[in-house]
Structure 1
Amino acid sequence: MSGSFALKTLTALSDLHPNMANVKIIGIVIGKTDVKGFPDRKNIGAERYTVSFTVRDSPAHFVNVASWGSEDYIRSLSDSFRVGECLIIENPLVQRKEMEREEKFCPATPSNCKLLLSENHSIVKVCSCYEVDAKLLSLIHLPVKESHDYYSLGDIVANGQNLNGKIINVLAAVRSVGEPKYFTTSDGRKGQRCEVKLYDETEPSFAMLCWDNESVLLAQSWMPRETVIFASDVRISFDKFRNCMTATVISKSIITANPDTPEANILLNFIRENTETSALENEIDTYWKDSVNLSEIVEVYTVKQLKMKALKKEGKVDPFYGILYTYISTLSLDGQATSVVRNRCLGCGYIVNEASNACSTCNKDSAAFPSIFPSFDLLVDLTDHTGTLHSCSLTGRVAEETLGCTVNEFLAMTEEQKTALKWQFLLERSKIYFKLVLSHRARGGFRVSVLSCKLADPTEASKNLSGQGNI
């Protein structure tokens, strides 16, 4: 540390005790919540604002810091620093922590104290990384829980609804980070959400939801297929809409990116090996979830118009996208499971040779390299009043979202349950986002992949029966 922050003037977090005066600490911010407003009970009609964060100065010691005040002060304080920055905090009020109340909503800390910042007496300064000891900066990569104290994604899926509502730790790699989606609540407050897809050696894709601005901002800095995260104290829930388990970042959560632990390094090596062996990255992304933003797809077609457009595109290689309002006229869910579910390679997304159980694309043998997972691999027929599109591809995550169940949940169903599931979709008009690629080997000279399939709103569908796509 440079001379500008003389060590003798600083108090270590380990030495804090309630009602201590003239305290000056330095720490790295490892977690932070959004600014929140509450009705001021002393001043009817007015609001008080608060923000809280967690700082750490050594592997064993970190503490929660909170501040209450006017909207201008709290927003200014919050905007002055981010997770990962180092702060000098002068003259905070050192209070005894109310264990039960505090740890219900705030990150659990080893300290029996908490710090309160006062607008009039406390000072918060952001330190340049050049002024701070490297040991302090390195703490951002140290999880706040024991490195082995976590669930794998496969453990969560296997435990299923037994974990519903539980708060646990998760170690996983980042597969993708969704765009922030903005919304307004019923009482007029603005918010945003972001969905992060995680994966590890045991599960190819698992959703983690961020609902507050700070965690959304943090997630945007993660590099897909390069970042590993240790998420401490996330809530596990059963998502009825998707019919699967998900994780949610809450006010107790602290997320450590690229943790410096043996377990994280093993996972990092796993994702690097898989990325390096992926020669056809674009095809992988198409399999996992097409990279196109569905909200940008607006052209509506009938089946006949789509076939005409494909004929005019002959010789061109670029795919094109659109929307269909059709019935699923063929959906083979019951019968042989092997025609519905196929093994794919986690490294490249391609179907594995079932006889050799090896991936011909990656040249990986699953016995030596356990990177095989079961995936939906459906061919569906789509029909409207103008004709039928045969053998359209409905695979992977899109199939799971459409059917409302994971592969493992589907495989556990009885034949009667599979038949009932099939009839939920057959002959029901659906709104389908598609991708069409010309292929001389495919029936009709083109191949259609379903990017999204949901039951259509009748009014919306009736307005679009004639199509409007540019042919």
Structure 2
Amino acid sequence: MHSRCPCNVFQKVAGIIIGKTDVKSFPDRKNIGMDRFTFGFTVKDSPDFFINVSAWGNDAYVNGLASSISIGDCVTIENPLVATKDLEKGDRFCPATPSHYRLLVTEAHSQVCLCADMDTIDRLLSLIHLPVKDSRDFYSLGDIVANGQKLDGSVINILAAVKSVGHFKQFTTSDGRRGQRLEVRLFDDSVSSFPLVCWDREAIQLMQPLIPRETVLFIADAKISFDSFRSGMVATVNSKSIITVNPDTREASLLFSYAKEVSESGALDQDDMPEDVPVESITDVYTVSQLIQKARENPEALFGITYSFISKLDLDSSVSKVIKTRCSKCKFLVTEDLNSCTNQLCPGKDQIVSATTGFDLLVDFTDHTGTLHACSLRSPVAEKALGCTVKEFISLTDGERTAMKWKFLLERCKIYVKIIPSPKMKSGIRGMILDCSLADAGEVNSLGLKHLQICTS
């Protein structure tokens, strides 16, 4: 593949697909009442050269071809037509390429098939990890946040790690069109969480299987805009964007090492507080097994109420295991002799550390359906639940602490809980207790009747 082509037909082109758009349809001006279908993909055959390909035709041909190839596939394109790019029309919505041309494939003239030559495939596969832009030409997430609305509407390159992959959502617009949406949370060494939104099905399919905290992305030509609902900046994947997963570059390697280090340190497990909701607004009641199943099905935060027994509450452990000190800014564990927080993502990492000391427990709660292990119970929720301040707890005898423990282990509690994904946990999820009190017997009885009605209906 070359940057200039003197002919209007290639006999054969082999390359790896590095980008692909959704199928779209348009009214056929030559055949009134009929639609023409199209989709595009971008193929690369060397480190420096890649070209856009457009497929046009009827519903069966275009959708059949689109479903047969994916990003990362090595393909052979036979007899494509060659056209000069028109940046004033459709080509301005396609990825920028070094070629002055684009390829067209139609059912009558061309054929696209998966490459069968192993030598060619071996040569092409490594190209999928080479960004289409200069590996040093990108904005950090901190740069985007710092520039704020100055970048509104800009198209830029981003290098960032994947923090979480959200829940795939489908919707129907007011005019009857179907759509889909996926939000991916990014992070780097300057920002702990930044939203990347995907609207196209092809981009969503690329993003869904990514492993959080173990994946780095180079996103060429992402659109940046100000989201008034969030009061912050958001990146969007569009038809011009090319996403390189785990780029083979020095910059990506450094970020991957940082992501691994900060993930293992536990810094990323500190929850994003904006997701929290008022306890009084939580009304959905679940058994423990329902909580676990629903949380695994939905990678976003789940809030609910469960009437369960606390089955592990180590109040009679050493005080240092019950009472801990955390950074006031990021909630990262710190020791009293440190002058600054060791969390590299802490907004106050260069300042004298401001710390708070409080209850910091991992508890299990259990009902007849199962147990949710290692849920966080921290101050001030713990102080309210236990009816005891940190200072008062420290002054208790061992016997008094044990008596406090058994007050909860022997009684059913009403527990408000928040559950989020946590790759570090064996279960894949982590619970946080937002409120806990001894359950009212009347509530428990009515809940039992309600469950009985559901089971027998």
Q: 2:310 aligns to what?
A: 315
Q: Give the conservation status (yes or no) of the 8 Å contact 1:18–1:96.
A: no
Q: CA deviation at 1:356?
A: 2.4
Q: CA deviation at 1:275?
A: 2.2
Q: 1:247 aligns to what?
A: 235
Tell whether 2:332 aligns with 1:350: yes
Q: 1:23-422 counterparts in 2 under 5 A?
A: 23-128=11-116, 130-278=118-266, 284=270, 298-299=284-285, 313-317=308-312, 342-344=328-330, 350=332, 352=334, 356-358=338-340, 365=342, 370-373=344-347
Q: 1:444 aligns to what?
A: 385
Q: Distance in 1 between matches of 2:253 and 2:143?
A: 19
Q: Distance in 1 between matches of 2:179 and 2:443?
A: 35
Q: CA deviation at 1:15?
A: 6.5
Deviation digits for residues 406-430 of structure 1, max 9, x if unmatched? xxxxxxxxxxxxxxxxxxxxxxxxx
Output the amino acid matched with 2:308: K
SS in 2 for 1:95: strand
Output the amino acid matched with 2:346: I
Output the amino acid matched with 2:332: Y
Q: Which TM-score applies when normalising by structure 2?
A: 0.66
Q: Distance in 1 between matches of 2:40 and 2:243?
A: 15
Indicate how the Cα distance of structure 1 residues 144 and 313 shifts in structure 2: closer, same or farther if over 3 A, else same.
same
Q: 1:455-466 counterparts in 2 under 5 A?
A: none
Q: Distance in 2 between matches of 1:260 and 1:129?
A: 24
Indicate how the Cα distance of structure 1 residues 131 and 157 shifts in structure 2: closer, same or farther if over 3 A, else same.
same
Q: Give the conservation status (yes or no) of the 8 Å contact 2:25–2:37.
A: yes
Q: Distance in 1 between matches of 2:216 and 2:83?
A: 35
Indicate how the Cα distance of structure 1 residues 133 and 212 shifts in structure 2: closer, same or farther if over 3 A, else same.
closer
Indicate how the Cα distance of structure 1 residues 161 and 126 shifts in structure 2: closer, same or farther if over 3 A, else same.
same
Indicate how the Cα distance of structure 1 residues 269 and 470 shifts in structure 2: closer, same or farther if over 3 A, else same.
same
Q: Distance in 1 between matches of 2:68 and 2:197?
A: 26
Indicate how the Cα distance of structure 1 residues 227 and 130 shifts in structure 2: closer, same or farther if over 3 A, else same.
same
Unaligned runs of 5+ in 1: 1-12, 291-295, 301-308, 319-340, 360-364, 376-390, 392-435, 453-465
Q: Distance in 1 between matches of 2:33 and 2:159?
A: 44
Deviation digits for residues 200-227 of structure 1, max 9, x if unmatched? 0000000000001000000012110000
Q: CA deviation at 1:98?
A: 1.3
Q: Distance in 2 between matches of 1:164 and 1:30?
A: 27
Q: Give the conservation status (yes or no) of the 8 Å contact 1:314–1:438.
A: no
Q: CA deviation at 1:288?
A: 9.2
Q: Give the conservation status (yes or no) of the 8 Å contact 1:197–1:206.
A: yes
Tell whether 2:444 aligns with 1:470: no
Q: Distance in 2 between matches of 1:52 and 1:343?
A: 46
Output the amino acid matched with 2:233: M
Q: CA deviation at 1:355?
A: 7.0
Output the amino acid matched with 2:329: N
Indicate how the Cα distance of structure 1 residues 19 and 130 shifts in structure 2: closer, same or farther if over 3 A, else same.
closer
Output the amino acid matched with 1:298: D
Deviation digits for residues 123-142 of structure 1, max 9, x if unmatched? 11112584534331111000
Q: Give the conservation status (yes or no) of the 8 Å contact 1:343–1:351.
A: no
Q: Give the conservation status (yes or no) of the 8 Å contact 1:175–1:196.
A: yes
SS in 2 for 1:17: coil
Q: Give the conservation status (yes or no) of the 8 Å contact 1:19–1:95.
A: no
264-273 vs 197-206, which moves further? 264-273
Q: CA RMSD in A?
A: 3.6
**Equivalent residues, number:** 340
Output the amino acid matched with 1:147: S
SS in 2 for 1:98: coil
Runs of 4+ that moved beyond 4 A: 283-290, 351-355, 436-441, 446-452, 466-469
Q: Distance in 1 between matches of 2:113 and 2:146?
A: 46
Q: CA deviation at 1:179?
A: 1.7
Q: CA deviation at 1:343?
A: 2.1
Q: Distance in 1 between matches of 2:165 and 2:116?
A: 29
Unaligned runs of 5+ in 2: 277-281, 287-304, 314-326, 350-357, 359-374, 387-412, 421-441, 449-457
Output the amino acid matched with 1:277: S
Q: CA deviation at 1:47?
A: 1.3
SS in 1 for 2:83: strand
Q: Give the conservation status (yes or no) of the 8 Å contact 1:163–1:237.
A: yes
SS in 2 for 1:316: strand
Q: 1:325 aligns to what?
A: none
Q: CA deviation at 1:154?
A: 0.4
Q: CA deviation at 1:268?
A: 0.6
Q: Between the two proteins, what is the percent identity of the paired residues?
A: 46
Deviation digits for residues 169-205 of structure 1, max 9, x if unmatched? 0000000001210011223222210000000000000
Indicate how the Cα distance of structure 1 residues 316 and 286 shifts in structure 2: closer, same or farther if over 3 A, else same.
farther
Deviation digits for residues 131-180 of structure 1, max 9, x if unmatched? 53433111100000001110000000000000001000000000000121
Q: Distance in 2 between matches of 1:284 and 1:353?
A: 17
Q: Give the conservation status (yes or no) of the 8 Å contact 2:169–2:180.
A: yes
SS in 2 for 1:343: coil
Q: Distance in 2 between matches of 1:449 and 1:83?
A: 40
Q: Distance in 1 between matches of 2:417 and 2:347?
A: 21
45-54 vs 184-193, which moves further? 184-193
Q: Distance in 2 between matches of 1:197 and 1:267?
A: 15
